[in-house]
Amino acid sequence: MNSLLLKKLVSFLNHELSLSEFPRDESANGLQVEGSREVRKIGLAVDACDAVFEKAAEQQVDFLLVHHGLIWGGVKSITGILRKRIKVLIDHNISLYACHLPLDWHPEYGNNVQLLRLLGLRKTGEFGEYHGKRIGYRGHLSREISLNDFKARVDKKLGVQSQAIDFNRKVKNIGIVSGGGWSALHDAEEHDIDTFLTGEPSHSAYTLAEELKINLIFAGHYATETLGVRAAGEMLSRKFSTETVFVDHPTGL
């Protein structure tokens, strides 16, 4: 397995993951903490937190790519939890690279396009505006099925127990926004969606979906956002022949 220079990896990722598409993302996308100059093992994870950093250190990861990074809206002080988390990274010489909205939206590696593929849907368009850009996708089933059958497919493919709320529609046109994307439901009417899939359950989504007559599926914030970092990891291992590992720390939420 090869090692590669941190500088080279960061500039490759900044371009390949299209960070410049989301200048208004609250997440400071890109390299957030600088570690080892040379990268021998790349870790992929959903969340930047102590448990993930410790697991990454145990596995000799020296570059960690996460979906939810440590720096949101700028750093005001490095104290408390933030200090503790950064210290673990620095003590183990691990770089932290965050990619938030670009890794929801990305047409090749993004959580949403990966969800479409995993569920066997044909992409029909973009969906779900957030910070002025559509980050989700719409997809088609070849024939309509019941919500129960679709839920079973989601559960099997993602390894979850999703929550499905049935508003009496068969499933054929599905809108997908990973994570905490419930507000994309506002776009559903315009696109004739019958079923909306997101990660985290939202109380506010219920009455809106009820009135729009759109089924809801909540498949977990964590589970729906493991796909993007995994896809980015596979791409990196193909491109650079560097060892990669998925650092799993499921929240069950």
Based on CB atoms, which residue is closest to Zn ion, 147 or 232? 232
Based on CB atoms, which residue is closest to Zn ion, 179 or 201? 179
Q: Shortest approach of Zn ion to residue 179 CB, angstroms?
A: 3
Binding to Zn ion, residues 29-68 (CB under 5 A): none
Tokens of 169: 């529609």
Based on CB atoms, which residue is closest to Zn ion, 35 or 179? 179
Binding to Zn ion, residues 113-132 (CB under 5 A): none
Based on CB atoms, which residue is closest to Zn ion, 35 or 201? 201
Based on CB atoms, which residue is closest to Zn ion, 128 or 179? 179
Q: Shortest approach of Zn ion to residue 165 CB, angstroms?
A: 21
Measure CA of the first residue to CA of the last residue in the chain; give whole Å.
Answer: 35
d(CA 205, CA 236): 37
Which residues lie across from 122 on neighbouring strands?
Answer: 140
Q: Shortest approach of Zn ion to residue 229 CB, angstroms?
A: 11
Check residue 136 for interaction with Zn ion (CB under 5 A). Answer: no
Q: Shortest approach of Zn ion to residue 221 CB, angstroms?
A: 6
Binding to Zn ion, residues 168-207 (CB under 5 A): 179
Contacts with Zn ion by CB under 5 A: the residue count is 1
- Residues 21-42: b if buried by 16+ CB within 10 A, e if exposed: ebeebebbbbbbbbbbeebebb
Q: Shortest approach of Zn ion to residue 228 CB, angstroms?
A: 10
Q: Which residue is nearest to Zn ion (CB)?
A: 179
Based on CB atoms, which residue is closest to Zn ion, 53 or 182? 182
Based on CB atoms, which residue is closest to Zn ion, 139 or 179? 179
d(CA 218, CA 196): 9
Q: Shortest approach of Zn ion to residue 121 CB, angstroms?
A: 21
d(CA 65, CA 42): 7
Q: Shortest approach of Zn ion to residue 30 CB, angstroms?
A: 17
**Interface contacts to Zn ion, rule CB under 5 A:** 179
